[in-house]
Each structure stands twice: as structure tokens, then as C-alpha cells.
Amino acid sequence: MLESKIEKDSVKAAEKLGWFSFKVVSPNFRGAPDRAFIKDGKTIYIEYKQQGKKPTQLQLKVHDIFANHGTTVHVSTSVEETLRILNDETN
């Protein structure tokens, strides 16, 4: 399945559970995660990849920058994985 389809379907499923989501776009900061999800004061960042694909070296560097500031960037390859991440991070 295409990365864009996984992302689109994940957003729809998350919105049904009360999550607000937006595309992370930063022209001067390449490698930013694909999406931010917000609910109940919690923000979760997710990078979408096709099954079997890994984040690029630049994306991993950005994930480390986020981690150094106390925020995790999760990687998801399916709608189910996205919902599991969102659930795990809010419980």
C-alpha cells in the first residue's frame, strides 16, 4: 500500500476517535515527520512508511533531534499501527 494511502486512512480512523491531525510541513527543515496528532493536550508525531521501508538517514537524524527535546517520532506502516501508537501514548 502507498505511504500516502496509509497516512490518509490513518487520519480518517484517528479523527473518528477524536484526534485532530495536521500535516507537518516545514520548507526550511527537511526530514520533519509526516503528521502530528493532538488529543487531550498530548501531541504525537508519526512518520509514515510502506511496509518493509525504513526512515531515511535524514529522517532518523530529525527523530534524534526530537528525542533530544523529549518528543518521540513514531514510525507507522498501517492504520492499525497508527491507532495502536495513539492509544499507547495516551494511556
Q: Topology of domain 3-90, per CATH?
A: Trna Endonuclease; Chain: A, domain 1 (3.40.1350)
Residue 1, pLDDT > 90, answer no
Q: Which grid cell is 63? A: 527523530
Backbone dihedral angles phi then psi of residue 6, each to the nearest 5 degrees: -60, -45
Whole-number pLDDT of residue 79: 97
Q: What is the side-by-side strand order in the sheet with 42-48? A: 20-23, 35-39, 42-48, 73-76
- For the chain, domain boundaries: 3-90
The string of pLDDT tens digits covering residues 20-68 is: 999 999 888 899 999 999 999 999 999 999 999 999 999 999 999 999 9
Cα 17 to chain centroid, rounded: 16
Model confidence at 74, in pLDDT bands (50, 70, 90)?
Answer: very high
How far apart are the C-alpha atoms of 69 and 72, rounded to whole Å? 9
Report which of 22, 16, 25 is spatially closest to residue 38, judged by C-alpha positions.
22
Backbone dihedral angles phi then psi of residue 77, each to the nearest 5 degrees: -120, 10
Model confidence at 70, in pLDDT bands (50, 70, 90)?
Answer: very high
